[in-house]
Amino acid sequence: MIKGKIAKVSGPLVIANNMSGVQMFEIVRVGEKELFGEVIETKGDLASIQVYEETEGLKVGEEVISTGNSLSVELGPGIMGGIYDGIQRPLKALRDLQGDFISRGISVSALDTNKKWLFQAIAKQGDQLTSGDFLGFVQETHLVKHYIMIPPGLSGKILEIKEGEFTINENVATLKDSEGVEHHICMMQKYPVRIGRPFVDKLQPNEPLITGQRVFDAMFPIFKGGTACIPGPFGSGKTVMQHQLARWSDADIIIYVGCGERGNEMTEVLIDFPELKDPRSGRPLMERTVLIANTSNMPVAARETSVFTGIAIAEYFRDMGYNVAMMADSTSRWAEAMREVSGRLEEMPGEEGYPAYLGSRIASFYERAGKVKTVGNPGRTATLSVIGAVSPPGGDLSDPVVQATLREVRVFWGLDARLAFARHFPSINWLISYSLYSHEFEKYFEKGELKGFNNLRKWALKVLEEESELQEIVRLVGMDALSPNDRLTLEVARSIREDFLQQNSYHEIDTYTSLSKQFLMLKVISTFEETARMAVQKEVEIESILELPLKESISRMKEVKETDLQKLEILTVNVKEMIAGLIGGRA
Amino acid sequence: MITKEYLGASSIAGPLMVVEGVEGIGYEELVEIKSKDRFTLGKVLEVSGDKAVVQLFESPQGLDPQSLRIHFTGKSLRLGVSLEMLGRVLDGLGRPRDGGAPPLAEEFIDINGRPINPFSRDYPNEFIETGISSIDGLNVLVRGQKLPVFSGSGMPHMRIAAQIVRQAKVLKSGESFAVIFAGMGITFEEANFLIKDFEASGAMERTTVFLNLANEPVIERIAIPRVALTLAEYLAFTHDYHVLVILADMTNYCEALREVSAARKEIPGRRGYPGYMYTDLSTIYERAGRIHGKTGSITQIPILTMPEDDRTHPIPDLTGYITEGQIFLSRALHRKGIYPPMDVLPSLSRLMTKGIGPGKTREDHSDLSNQLFSAYARGREARELAIILGEGALLDVDKKFLRFADVFENRFLRQGEYESRSVIETLEKGWQILSLLPVEELKRVRKEFITKYLDKYFSQAGDVQEDSIL
Ligand SMILES: Nc1ncnc2c1ncn2[C@@H]1O[C@H](COP(=O)(O)OP(=O)(O)OP(=O)(O)O)[C@@H](O)[C@H]1O
Ligand SMILES: Nc1ncnc2c1ncn2[C@@H]1O[C@H](COP(=O)(O)OP(=O)(O)O)[C@@H](O)[C@H]1O
Ligand SMILES: [Mg+2]
Ligand SMILES: [Mg+2]
């Protein structure tokens, strides 16, 4: 154990002397109150420490004690449905101990150490196991079977394995390694947050992450194991979209990190999620969700780690073979926390004062996403998808955090203040957004019931592109200059925007749309275009097409329940017949 | 606790004082500084070896570094709070400015406060009726929200704040209300107008004013919002008050912050404001809210003037990233003589969905406001096109949207300074104006609401057009 003394205090940064021998990223306890800190720089016998709690009152000369550990998460049954701060202290326990306001110097175990869980064995006595192998499982919630795995770095023969009710710290198995050393294994394991968990192989994502959000699924899809970013100015809908993803996407496990954002937004999740039902299982969403909440007014250094705490938990569930999705709102606050600490360290600043290593930090975070073949037996593939919100100053996409993020992620959902002002939500700008999974999308929808989805997608994007060119012309010379065909294109584009892309998260039906419904909705609009185009060719007046009582039925497609989808098929037929009627009428 | 006293500072530069040869000084502790004829306060900004950097809360003018007696108190800055403070006008550190006796403290509380545990928060969902259509109809204020006004110099933000204080009510009885006004660097006239208005409406007896005027030292602004919120927390969470806190002008606060940062030679963030300004502002704004199991609440209306009306300026930008929405004022509407000149489109209340609906306002509120927003946005687009190409170049339907936008500004937004509209009046006005548009264009409202709330206005649509002021 190394004992040093505080030499300087400046905000969240403490410099201590007499610290030679301390490791980088080692956890230390700072001062009389034993505040949590992490060593982020060593120089001679000086150590620079970022402190995860308020440093008010710390004095020069107070003691700093090393712990020999690096910042780790506690992993085991009891983690699901929890809400933690940036260093995985359970906020409920903090409330019970300290009251409604957070104070300092408290260490609480992340997981309930008294609760007994029913451990069911998978492995048997005499089995030869290596790290990642399933030892057994606990049915943690209705939705989550929590597998107990051999921790990383351990292997050997099972001498004994138990079954029954245990706390997370009681032995459930004993393992003898090749050197004859016996290891007692309990259901809880610790793992350092800054190091990615090992895996066997990275694979190409090939299944869409279905989110129920039309602009994502049908236009700019993310795949399971993929990465996406949502940059946008304040009020453009980053958080609402992240919440929607956490609610509706078809991942098995959701890790939601509120990083330096509003307290009430975390409260909203805490209040809503236990009531909202998973559309597939009908169970409360909280049963598959872990929340990390380090709000903007909580200590800055813990904000920096909250993202790593989240991804370390996410990787643990990935290793069980699950499809995990992690949302981080907002990664800009995380980058700013790095900037603040870097500034106090007097490091040479890069762009906009961010540290020069900003890009590599962002890269090393998104790199932890992916579809992998996990370690351990039985062999399994699993995915970890990561979706980060970015909050650039003034919504300006040239911001260094946006730029560094765009170099890493495969899907870009660009939010647009102008759309948000007109209450076009989600305010995803369809002209700048992209998904690099369009090839995978095409392959995935080559066969099956939704065959043709990819053509509809390409068609819709093309119409929207044409619209933007036509609007240029309208702005110069007015609507009159357009041919009937162009007028029709504008009408169809408006319909795609308003009747398909726009989706109200707060509407009980509109909030989630299945792929089948998305497909049918696009089908209706494209049928409208096809037949209307034919009619225009036959010199039917475009006004008379627009006067048909179709516009309203099309705009009400969103309100059609998932159980009534045949209504949309009927609408397709109606669209065809009514417009054809106009052609017939002329003949 | 042993407190420490030293004679003489080694330097004073701007708002910073350096004291050397010290020992056992705590980060952020309160410092009392005595000179021959003055007593001032400061706090420790940095300790390093035997050196402490102290930020002064008051102007250093007339202080001679060598002769100062500097007392490190070992405590952080605390505010003595009590119910007696209601009805008083105090300075940035809670001392009387109104000639009265210092209020007797019931409790001393650290002005920095502590973060509310997100697990303890209760979601704000109680509608506050302000009587102003552009707020109640479109950007609803709820109890426990932080909703700033983004204004510009010369615009009527203070009058709007005063109108909210006069008219705001919640549909419940038997509750205690209080108003806390923190004036930072505002002019004597502005402060005087507000205090007179509070007195005239009878609000003053449940109001505390903390004041630092424009001609008073900039650094005295740094403590004000925290002092004001400390009293607010005491009233809300100890005495069950519903507290409305108005912070004006946050731009002046941020400038004071920049001054301290510059004096410390910190690496600046955008436009010279410190990189930690987001965090600093959040420790002010996040002190709004409600707590499970407690009756009281803190609602904040920070007011800030955007330098050069620039929305991307770091002060409105960082504020908007923290607060739960924002109300923009528009200079164009103000020039047209429309009061309140609310710039509807970029304005937003993020907590609106939870504060409206059946049992709170009315079932159609959410659909109606969405429809008004999108119709007005389309009307504004049409107006822009009409400016370039002439109204003749518009399609018939776009002409209708253009007309809608005009009527909307004149009948819905425009309102008297002493006119209070109930939320039902506001909603009805909204439907009435929507009747100017073809019904198939009203895609944002449920069909049943059209039958229930709109159809009755159709026959009268002509009337709306005739007596509207264009
Ligand atoms: N003395 C300095 N040392 C290090 N970095 C600096 C220094 N001065 C400015 N910077 C960095 O350069 C960036 C640009 O500063 P500048 O004052 O030009 O901002 P700006 O152009 O007004 O802001 P913006 O264009 O983002 O609205 C700052 O954000 C800051 O991080
Ligand atoms: N999909 C949506 N449907 C309806 N309203 C939305 C949607 N997305 C955003 N909004 C509205 O916009 C507001 C701001 O969204 P939010 O996600 O909090 O923005 P950001 O995180 O980008 O600052 C929300 O409070 C809500 O009123
Ligand atoms: Mg947000
Ligand atoms: Mg710049």
Average pLDDT score over residue span A196-215? 96
Across the range B339-363, mean pLDDT stands at 94
Neighbours of B76 (CB within 10 A): 17
pLDDT tens string A136-190: 999 999 999 999 999 998 999 999 999 999 999 999 999 999 999 999 999 999 9
pLDDT at A282 > cutoff 70: yes
SS3 content of chain B, % helix, strand, coil (to 5): 40, 25, 35
Q: What's the pLDDT score for residue B469? A: 39
What confidence category does residue A233 fall into, taking pLDDT thresholds of 50, 70 and 90? very high
| pLDDT tier for residue B217 given thresholds of 50, 70 and 90 | confident
Could you give the CA distance from residue B386 to residue B380 in angstroms, rounded to a whole number?
10
Q: What are phi and psi of A519, to 5 degrees?
A: -60, -50
| Residue pairs spanning A and B at CB distance below 8 A | 207
pLDDT the model gives residue A107: 80
The pTM for the full model equals 0.91
Mutate to test the interface with B, among A423, A479, A500, A505 (most CBs of B within 10 A): A423
Please state, rounded to an integer, the average pLDDT across all residues of chain B.
91
Q: Does B270 touch chain A (CB under 8 A)?
A: yes
Inter-residue contact B48 to A8 (CB < 8 Å): yes
In degrees and rounded to multiples of 5, residue A16 shows phi and psi of: -120, 145
In single-letter form, the type of residue at position A270 comes to: L
Backbone angles phi, psi at A193, to 5 degrees: -75, -25
Pair of tokens at residue A55: 């440093």
From the list A439, A453, A415, the residue with the least C-alpha distance to A228 is: A415
Q: CB of B267 within 8 A of CB of A353?
A: yes
Residue environment code for A53-89, b if the CB has 16+ CB neighbours within 10 A, otherwise e: bbbbbbbbebbbebeeebbbbbbbbbbbbbbbbbbbb
3-class DSSP assignment, residue B456:
helix
- Ligand 1, residues at Cβ distance < 6 Å: A 349, 352-353, 393; B 267-272
Please give the single-letter amino acid code of residue A43: K
CA A577/CA A583 separation, integer angstroms? 10
Distance CA B470, CA B385 (A): 18
Q: Closest residue (by CA) to atom 10 of ligand 2?
A: A237
Residue B468 has pLDDT above 50, yes or no: no
Q: Which helix (H) or strand (E) holds A329?
A: strand A323-329
- Put simply, whether B123 touches A (Cβ < 8 Å) is yes
Higher-confidence position of B267 and A82: A82
Residue A70, pLDDT > 80, answer yes
| Residue A234 in contact with ligand 2 by CB distance below 6 A | yes
What value of ipTM does the predicted structure carry?
0.89
pLDDT band at B266 (very low <50, low <70, confident <90, very high): confident
**Distant-in-sequence, close-in-space partners of B286: CB < 8 Å, separation ≥ 6:** A262, A263, A295, A296, A297, B115, B116, B146, B322
Secondary structure class of B149 (helix, strand, coil): strand
Average pLDDT over residues A77-93: 93
State in Å, rounded, how far the first CA of chain B is from the last one.
72
- Residue B332: which H helix or E strand, with range? helix B331-335
Answer whether residue A244 shows pLDDT above 60: yes
pLDDT of residue B330: 96
With pLDDT > 90 as the criterion, what percentage of chain B qualifies?
Answer: 72
The response to whether residue A425 sits with its C-beta less than 6 Å from ligand 2 reads yes
Give which of A233, A246, A228 is closest to A413, Cα–Cα. Answer: A228
Q: Which residue is associated with the tokens 């579809």?
A: A371
Q: Which of residues 385-404 of B touch A (CB under 8 A)?
A: 385, 388-389, 393-395
Residues near A263 by Cβ (< 8 Å), separated by ≥ 6?
A293, A295, A296, A297, B115, B116, B118, B121, B286, B289
Residues 6+ apart with CB under 8 A from B118: A83, A91, A258, A263, A266, A267, A270, A293, A295
Cβ-based contacts of B30 with chain A (< 8 Å): none
- What gap in Å lies between CA B336 and CA B111, rounded to an integer? 43
